[in-house]
Amino acid sequence: MGYGSVFSPTLFAGKVVLITGGGSGIGRCVAHELAALGAHAVLLGRKADKLQAVVAEIVQDGGSASFHVCDIRDEEAVKQTIAAVVAAQRRIDGLVNNAGGQFMTPLEAISAKGWDAVINTNLTGGFLVARECFLQSMNKHGGAIVNIVADMWGSMPGMGHSGAARAGMVSFTETAAIEWAGRGVRVNAVAPGYIASSGMDKYPLEMGPMLREMAKTVPLGRFGTESETSAAIVFLLSPAASFISGSTLRVDGARPQVRMGWPMRAASKEVQQRAAIKPFEGFHRAQTPKVFQVETPLPKE
């Protein structure tokens, strides 16, 4: 059993696509789908064991992949890593700027160090990787970049540092789309909403009940899947999106459209099985986040 992509199996044949944060979650899923469509997936991340495990999965499934360990917040490391990728693969045709992370804290409790850590991971690091992909390859051959942001429309209370970084990345996407268009480079963004990804397991145990309840605030009545997010990313990388640049594609079940004073009518479980909104589960190696596997009791005080 392989990846159940909706796209042509040779769509990215001969292409090299770099995926940051490719060792888990959405990045892992995207790497699998791109490899299933013929691309050589190059995974970047900070933990070699996680990257190596995903590369092994892809190779076992018949795909082509490699990895490089890199902290995208380190400018010199990014320069050297992209140079190594270009030396090994000769070019970079696509970039999925997926690496990111944040923690739940109200604004008044965020230290300068904590703020900088999130900004550097979710904004500066993505800029550095995109810049080097452009300078070292795409300005000569063209290419497509997809920056992963977040559902920050209407604010991100409890994660203000992440909201600021993601909004900045949307602006960067729009600016890069203008500045790099003359070299044949398209730059877009994908904004996932509530996605059932392994990233949710990084939050504290006591957040489990809140996370499980969040689906009730989504008009489509459920969490999205990693493969639904990946499909949006793959589309924007593909030739079918050749006249799309500077755009942000939301994958969020209409969550930002919820308004005070308008009755919330989330789709029921029965309605969710209708063809138009039925969950798409293309990723054959998808792993249900632990927080959704069982009703984990809160620790006793």
Return the ∠ at Cα 279 (arms to 154 and 268), rounded to 5°: 75
Any idea which of 12-21, 81-90, 93-102, 142-151 has the lowest mean pLDDT? 93-102
Predicted confidence at residue 301, as pLDDT, reads: 41
| pLDDT over 90, % of the chain | 67
Predicted confidence at residue 160, as pLDDT, reads: 66
Segment 228-248 shows an average pLDDT of 98
Would you list the domain boundaries of the chain?
A: 16-204+225-254
Predicted confidence at residue 172, as pLDDT, reads: 97
Q: Which residues pair with 241 in a beta bridge?
A: none
pLDDT of residue 220 exceeding 90: yes
Predicted confidence at residue 299, as pLDDT, reads: 44
Burial of 245 (0-12, 13-18, 19+ CB in 10 A): buried
pLDDT of residue 119 exceeding 90: no
Cβ(192)–Cβ(150) below 8 Å:
yes
Q: What is the pLDDT of residues 11-31, one digit of tens each?
A: 999 999 999 999 999 999 999
Cβ(211)–Cβ(293) below 8 Å:
no
Close Cβ partners of 264 (under 8 Å, ≥ 6 residues apart): 216, 217, 219, 258
User: How far are the Cα atoms of 1, 55, 275 from residue 60, in angstroms, in the given order?
Assistant: 11, 8, 32
Predicted confidence at residue 294, as pLDDT, reads: 57
pLDDT of residue 63 exceeding 60: yes
Q: Which two tokens stand for residue 72?
A: 């995208």
CA distance 277 to 280: 8
Tell the CATH topology of 16-204+225-254.
Rossmann fold (3.40.50)
CB atoms within 10 A of CB 99: 24
pLDDT of residue 297 exceeding 60: no
Q: What is the pLDDT of residues 257-270, one digit of tens each?
A: 887 677 788 898 88
Q: What is the pLDDT of residues 31-40, one digit of tens each?
A: 999 999 999 9
In one-letter notation, the amino acid at residue 44 is L
For the entire predicted model, the pTM comes to: 0.91
